[in-house]
Structures are given as structure tokens and as C-alpha cells.
Chain A
Amino acid sequence: MTLHRSIPAAFLLLATALTGLTPFALAESVTVVSWGGSYARACEKAFHEPFTAETGIEIRLEDYNGGLAQIRAQVETGNVHWDVVDMEMADAVRGCDEGLLEPLDLGALAPGADGKPAEEDFYPGSLTECGVGTLFYSTIYAYNLERFPGNRPSTIADFFDLEKFPGRRGMRRTPQVNMEFALMADGVPLDQVYAALRTQEGLDRAFRKLDTIKDHIVWWEAGAQPPQMLADGEVTMSTAYNGRIFNAQVLENQPFVIVWDGQLLDTGQLVIVAGSPNLEAARKFFSFSTTVRSLVAVGRYISYSPARQSGTALISTHLETGVDMKPHMPTTPENAARGLQYDWEWWSDHIDEMNLRFIAWLLR
């Protein structure tokens, strides 16, 4: 850029900085908060870009790593700048209880692909008071095949077996999921895991199991970290969201293998933050992104399956590589059979004390 051209540009920048208005703010926009990395990219291509093309409303995408702290801070200080958030079920239920989220407007949801009303089309339990279930995803563990060319890990117990499968483990720095994994690995049958977590003995047992690998754990926070850590060789296996590992497999040809045994299946929830500054645009985006078409479209970029029954039959191939998506979905019967449905109700009620207990354990 030559100088005489850049001077007016500089003035424009200065002027906008002074008025506090960016040129984009003049167009209608909505701030969408999601989980970053390949998942956020999949959502962008699947329905953010089509939404902007159709309505002219700009989407400002932000990343976060779950939890309610930022939303609480925004709502309680009256300084809300997030509009729509993609969150975990437990957080959505809890946020709704605390009045942090807009109540769900059922009328805003489009009917299913077969014309069934939305209430019947969404899988039972995926509609909550403030949120809509969008996609099924699961937390699994994956390993780097190069590190275990001979004997391969195949069960959740193998994740905790440092003798058979040495090397560091990646785990998300939360008590959620890790407690369940520990109990399953310790031999608690799938249907008794949450019953065990409700008892002091069960909690102690889970922490004792985690103790056995504690010194070998590398903690992650963002969903994009585990594939990176596996690729860098920082860990030999890691818990991860299944879609992230899938994308690393098909797009980057990484030698990662997913172990479905002990997977924890959860539903992502879409919610609108209470006091959202762009409520109208947020509602439009909310309706658009919960249509069968949008949800099925995400499944063409990343291996998460739609939470609407009429969408399940529409699961097809990975758009960029043509890989059949069905065997990679967490809800595919053979994958789901070896896993557990995440008990969001229990976690939404117990996350505070579990967090403290988890921190105390980390510090020991």
C-alpha cells in the first residue's frame, strides 16, 4: 500500500477507534462461542457461512473450554457480550437453573426432515429448559499407533496399565469423565458407575485408580490439544473428543487409533445467554443452526452425529475425503454398546464439590 492511500485508512482506523465502533458493528452480528479447533471449523463450514450468506448477519466466533464462569461473570456484571454458546449438557442445565440463559422457545425449532414436530424429532432428553441438544459427541481415548506397533490397547483398563503400555497419558483437567474412566477401568460395570460415584467409597476408589497414573498424566484443557500432544509424542495416549481424533486421522493422516471401550457419550447444547445484546440475530441463528440440515452438515466435516432422529438416517460421507462417517460416529451401535451415557444431572448438581475434591487431589 502506498503512503497516500494508507493515510486515509489510518484516519478511518483512528476515527473508528475513537468512536469505539468498528465498521463491522454497523452490520447486524451475533457472537457465537464454541470449542475452537476442528470442531469450530466444521460448524463454520456447515452452518455459520450458509447462515451469513442467507441472512447477511455476521458471525463473530469466539473459543472457550466449557464451564460457566465467563457467562456468570458477564451476566452478574451486566456486561454480556456473548450471544449464543455451544456448551456441555451439565453446564446448560446448571446455567439455566442459575438464570444465566434465555429460556428455550420451542416454537423457534424447525420440524424434522420427515415433518415431525421438533419436540418429537429431537432425541428424548436432549431438549432442556434453556437449550437444545445439537450433536452427540463422546470422550474416548486414543493412542498413537507408532508407539504401540505390537500389542495394542483395546480396553479402558489398558489406559491405566502403565506396565503393558508405558508412556505419558493426556487427560482433561476436570473431574468429569476422568472419574468415570477410572471406575470403569477398575472393573466397575457400566451400569453401576454412577451409583458408585454417589458413594464415598466409589469416589475414593476412583481417586485411588487415578493415583496409579497420576505422575504420568499431562493435563489438557482445550479440545484441540490431545491430537497435538499425540502427534508431538508428548503423550502416548490421551483422552479426547472423538471428532478431533477423527479429523487428525483423515485430514492429517495421523496414525491415531480410537478405543471405543468405555466411551462417554454426551450431547452438546446450544443456548442463548440471558441478556444477549443481539437477541434477535441470536434467535435467528439459533433456529438456523438447529435444523436437521445444519446438524447433518456438521457430520460431513467431523464425526459428531445429529441429536435429531430424522437426521440419523441422513449421515453420509466426509465431504473432503469421502470416508463413510457411520463407523466413526459415537452413536453407531457397535461403538455405543461399549460406552456409557454421561450423567449430566449428577454432574450439574455435584460439580462444585467435585472440583474442590479434584483440586485437593491434584495438590496432594
Chain B
Amino acid sequence: MRPAVLVLPLAAFIAVTFVAPLLVMLGRSVHDPMVADALPETLGLLRSWDGERTPPEAVFETMARELLKARREKSLGRIATRVNRVQAGLRSVLMKSVRRLRGAHPPDSWREAMIALDPKWGQTRTWHAIRRAGERFTLRHYLHALDLDQAPGGGIIRQPPDLRIYLPLLRRTLAVSLGITLLCLLLGYPIAYLIANAPPHRANLLLLLVLVPFWTSLLVRTTSWIVLLQTQGVINDLLAAVGLIADDQRISMIYNMTGTVVAMTHVLLPFMVLPLFSVMRTIPPLYMSAAASLGASFLQAFRRVYWPQTLPGVAAGSLLVFILAIGYYITPALVGGQSGQLISNMVAYHMQQSLNWGLAAALGGVLLGGVFLLYLVFNRLVGVDRMRLG
């Protein structure tokens, strides 16, 4: 009982700083009451609209009234932005109509006046979009996050090819994360082996070489790669100086995918080396000698004796690196240029630039679901209980 009480502060801390924001963001991905609150009467009238013909005059009149009210309350811009996310192009219809209707005499027929301002008011598509934007709870953001959309008449369709962003990015993120995991394993395995089998004083020194970058600020490490890799950087200068490349044909190694992969591999390498090392340290060197004395070649002994025993470390390191890589944001943002961007950079874009938090949250949700799914598959194949983190 007492140890449980001691953990309470930590549990409270995690609940406030991690679980609660996560739930709030996931909530935002399906819940947006902005339009519903601003146009309650119009949406109420639209509920009984047949959806086949242009809505009746009453709907137009109410819509105009509520839009003008929203304009006075300075919320029209945000409403228009949301409607525009359902159907691109409606923002200008809304804004333009209100600009023209404001101050004008109330027309005899709002319906005719508004259709005269923009023929889109006469299309049922527009009203379907407004009705959908007014839904308090929606899966729209998840559809958009998967490059899908609701068809005007119901049903789900793919976005037109020139608007497909997220699926290609998700695929790229998965591929890059897998590649980086593999690179980390290839580079990290020999180092971990070396450290685990070196005499103690040399092992400490080697371990320090792994840990110092691990303790160094991520920003410092990422920006050092800029110094090294840029067109006027150390490596290009060196290559040009010894004549391997012409001075005007320096290699672009940064602000593209190469930059992202190199810098991220470096940043994530310790997360592979440390679990591997902790597992290898427990494998007595005698096992390999025993295998050799029984006539196995080094390769045979490695494959059948050593490698299987390191699997828990390999699994732990790979899972750690992969999950970190899939959500990585700062390194691609700094050194990825345009072609080296990953899905998390789009989450940041929607959080900070377009302020479409619903979509950002949905992208996060997709990522979370994806990682969870991978974890289940991984558990099935390797078994999480066999994993050793250190």
C-alpha cells in the first residue's frame, strides 16, 4: 500500500501533463462546435431540408441574419475558414456575400439576392457543406488525415491527386523510420559488441564516446550536421580541396532527405547501442569459445549462438528507435529542407500555421493508432516480455 502512495505524485503529474492533453487533443479531432454555435437556427432549419432542391427562403433569410451577426461578433472569418475546410472555395462565397449584404437594404427575397451575389448559393452542394460544417461531432478530420473526403451525396471518396498529402507522407515517414532503424542497428551492433567485450577501462572510454553525444543537446548536434554537410560546409570544402569534386559541383547533402537520414541516425544511435550493450554484457564470452571448440566457424557460432541471445536487445533498440523516429519533428524541420519533411512536420504546420487543430489532432491520432498497431504486431512476432531495455 505505502509504495503505491509514494507513486501518487508521479501519477498525478503524468495525468495532468500527458494523459489530459492527449485526451483533449483526441477530443478536438472529432469535436468542433464553432459553426454549430454560430449558426444554430440555420442548421436547425437545414435539418428538415430535403437536400435535393435549393433550400427555401426562410433558410436564406436566417443564414444571412446569422452571418451578419457573426460578422458583428468578429467570428465570421473563423466560421468561413471552417466551412471552407469542408468545401474549398466557400470562404470567398461567405465573405463576399456578407461584405455586399452588410449595410444594404434587406432585399425582398434573400434567396434571389444571395444567388445573384454568387450562384454557389443556389447549389445544393453548398448547403450540404454548411450542414456538415455544423456537425458538432465529425470524423471529417480523420478522413482528411487519410486523404479521403465525404462525397457531397454521402459516401467516401479519395481526394483529387493534387491534394493528396498525408498518405504519401505517412508512407515516407514509415519507410524513413524503418531505414533509420536498420542503419542504427548496422552501425550500433558492432560498437555495442566492442564495448561489451573490451577490457573494463577501454569499455568505459568507449561507452563515454556513446554517452557524450547522448547527453549533448539535440539542437547542438543537429546544427553541427549543418556545419558539416552544407554546400559551403566542412565536408564539401574538404572534397573540393583534394579535388574529388569541382568547386561549382558541390554535393547537396543537407536540406533534403540525406540530411534528415544522416542527422536522425546520429541522434538516435545511442538508443540502439545502449539496450544492445546491456544485453551483450550478460552473454559470457565463453559461449563463443565453446561453440568454436565444438568445431563451429566464427560465422556459424555468431549466427547460432551469439545472435539469438542478443535478440531481446535488438528488439528493444529497434522498437525504441523506430517509435522515436516516426514522431520526430525538430531534426527534419531543421535539416530536411522540402524533400526531407515527415508527417510530424505537417502536424506542426496545422498546429502553428493553418491553426487547423482538428486536423493536427487527427494526424496525431492516426500516428498513435499506427504505432499501437505496430506494437501489437511486434509483440506477436517477438514478444514484448522478451525485450530487454537495459
Contact B92 A363 (CB under 8 A): no
Of the candidates A207, A232, A362, the one having the most CB atoms from chain B within 10 angstroms of its own CB is A362
Interface of A is mostly: helix
Chain B nearest CB: distance from A231 CB in Å?
Answer: 13
How many Å lie between the Cα of A207 and that of B161 in the bound state?
A: 13
Task: Count contacts on B: residues with CB < 8 A to the other chain.
Answer: 32
Q: Which residues of A contact B164 (CB under 8 A)?
A: 360
- Residues of B at under 8 Å CB distance from A? 73-78, 80-81, 84-85, 88-89, 91-92, 95-96, 162-165, 168-169, 231-232, 338, 341, 346, 349, 352-355
A97–B85 CB distance below 8 A? no
Which one of A36-44, A52-60, A67-75, A154-162 is at the B interface?
A67-75
Q: Show 11 A/B contacts (Cβ-Cβ < 8 Å), sorted by A.
A: A69-B352, A73-B352, A76-B355, A97-B76, A98-B81, A99-B75, A204-B162, A207-B162, A349-B95, A355-B353, A363-B165
**Closest partner residue, chain B, to A214 (CB atom):** B338
Q: What's the nearest-Cβ distance from chain B to residue A113, in Å?
A: 32
Given the interface pairs A97-B77, A99-B75, the reply to whether A363 lies near B84 with Cβ below 8 Å is no
Identify 7 new A-B residue pairs, CB closer than 8 A, beyond the known A350-B89, A363-B341: A97-B80, A97-B95, A98-B81, A350-B91, A357-B163, A359-B346, A360-B163
A219 at the interface (CB under 8 A from B): yes
Chain A proximity of B346: nearest CB distance (Å): 8
CA distance A281 to B89 in the complex (A): 39
User: Does A361 interact with chain B (Cβ within 8 Å)?
Assistant: yes
**Inter-chain contact B338/A360, CB cutoff 8 Å:** no
> How far is it, in angstroms, between the C-alpha of A350 and the C-alpha of B162 when the chains are bound?
16
Give the contacting residue for A352; candidates B91, B165, B231; CB below 8 A: B91
Check A350/B92 contact, CB under 8 A, given A98-B78, A99-B77, A363-B165.
yes
Residue of A nearest to B341 (CB): A363
Residue A308 CB within 8 A of the other chain: no
Query: Which of B78, B96, B163, B165 touches A349 (beta carbons < 8 Å)?
Result: B96
Residues of A within 8 A of B338 (CB): 219, 362-363
In whole angstroms, what is the CA distance A98 to B162 when docked? 28
User: A352–B353 Cα gap in the complex (Å)?
Assistant: 10
Contact with B along A201-220 (1 / 0, CB 8 A): 00010010000000000010
CB pair B163–A99 under 8 Å, yes or no, is: no
A72-B355 in contact (CB<8A) = yes
A94 at the interface (CB under 8 A from B): yes
CB A80 to nearest CB in B, in angstroms, measures: 15
- A-side interface residues toward B, CB under 8 Å? 67, 69, 72-73, 76, 94, 97-99, 204, 207, 219, 232, 234, 274, 346, 348-350, 352-353, 355-357, 359-363
User: What is the CB-to-nearest-CB distance from B167 to chain A, in angstroms, rounded to a whole number?
Assistant: 11
A362 surroundings in chain B (CB, below 8 A): 338
Determine how close the nearest CB of chain B comes to the CB of A29; give it in whole angstroms: 27
Contact A359 B91 (CB under 8 A): no
Least CB distance, B335 to chain A, in whole angstroms: 14
5 A-B pairs closest in CB distance: A99-B74, A98-B77, A349-B92, A97-B77, A353-B88
**Complex Cα gap A274–B77 (Å):** 14
Cα separation A77 to B101 with both chains bound (whole Å): 31
Q: How far is the CB of B95 from the nearest CB of chain A, in Å?
A: 6
Residues on the B chain within 8 Å of A359, using CB: 165, 346, 349
Compute how far the CA of A274 lies from the CA of B355 in the bound complex, rounded to whole angstroms. 18
Flag if A352 contacts B77 (CB, 8 Å): no
When A69-B355, A94-B77, A97-B80 are in contact, do A357 and B162 touch as well, CB less than 8 Å? yes
